[in-house]
Amino acid sequence: MSWQDAEPGDEVRALLLAARAHDGRPEVDETGPLPREFRGGRHLLRHDGGTLVGYAHLDPRGDAYGNQIVEAIVHPDHRGRGHGTRLVTDALAATDGPLRIWSHGDHPAAAAIAGRARLARVRELLRMGLGADTELPEPKLPDDVTIRAFEPGRDEDAVIGVNARAFDWHPEQGQLTVDELIAAEIESWFDPAGFFLADQRGKTVGFHWTKIHPDGVGEVYVVGVDPAAQGGGLGKALTLVGLHHLRRVGIPEIILYVESDNAPAVAVYTRLGFKVTETDVAYQR
């Protein structure tokens, strides 16, 4: 077991790809940069007989509430042998500050490890899915609101401004920067034609950023509405604009992620036909 500050190499990508094939996540490509949650920070590699069997990433920057974030993954062929427990133990020992560790899919084994480590279940992120046969109503926009596509090089500041105000309560999303948005624009999945902005009297007041994954699954990636424009149904309308776009381009399966305690958003998505398919859990020391 060893920590390193250098970016991990091909063996870590191979482990992440194996986990994706088995679990459906993380969202890692065969080439290109690793997903955002594995960049920078510190990297813990656990080998057994020369084979990489486990990997953990520690993000010391953490979330908006000062929690350092850990993602820990054991290779599917080497689970049930104590490697996950060792990864979590070493991650906890690496820092004495506030720390959160994610369990994607709410696996019983992860819950057992968290229990032994005396970690509290503090956050749930719901994955919701929309069936291909679900009928969608047409969006109803306020009379003075128009929809247009995102323009790289022009709209970054406006989107980040709306995002910061809409998600000032969110541990991660509210911290999105212009530089990070620009970096996302060179990702293979980025498509400005699926990134919709709502303008009201010449000012951007909301957006719906859709995403199409390499496996063809569509995602309601981020829907943000400026608090000054909330309460008039703009969030639902923007959601429908993106959903109709994904349907038009032939995407049969659509997902989204939403905080379990965000009752208004969960209610909107449920009324549109989304159903909870998985739950991700954050455990905290």
Is 131 labelled as part of a ligand binding site?
no
- Tokens standing for 85? 């427990």
**Does 211 show up as a binding residue in the annotation?**
yes
Tokens of 117: 């480590």
Question: Is there a binding annotation on residue 218?
Answer: no
257 among the known binding-site residues? yes
| 205 appears as a binding residue in the annotation | no
Short-list 183, 180, 240, 177, CA closest to 206? 240
Q: Is 235 annotated as a binding residue?
A: yes
Asked whether residue 230 is marked as a ligand-binding residue, the answer is yes
Q: Flag whether 224 is marked binding.
A: yes
Residue 47 backbone dihedrals phi, psi, to 5 degrees: -110, 150
On whether 216 is known to bind a ligand per the annotation, the reply is no
Instruction: With beta carbons less than 8 A apart as the criterion, state whether 2 and 44 touch.
Output: yes
Q: Is 251 annotated as a binding residue?
A: no
| Residue 178 three-state SS | helix
According to the annotation, is 231 in a ligand binding site? yes
Cross-strand pairs, 74: 54
Going by the DSSP 8-state scheme, the letter that residue 92 receives in this structure is: H
232 known ligand binder = yes
DSSP 227: G
User: Residue holding tokens 């009752």?
Assistant: 263
> Is 223 flagged in the annotation as binding?
yes
For 104, what's the count of Cα atoms within 13 Å in the CB-facing half-sphere? Answer: 15
**Cα dist from 57 to 5, 40, 44, 100, 117, whole Å:** 10, 9, 6, 12, 18
73 is in an annotated binding site: yes
30 is in an annotated binding site: yes
Q: Is 234 annotated as a binding residue?
A: yes
Q: Is residue 53 annotated as involved in ligand binding?
A: no
Annotated binding site: 30, 72-74, 172, 211, 219, 223-225, 230-236, 257
Annotated binding site for acetyl-CoA: 72-74, 223-225, 230-236
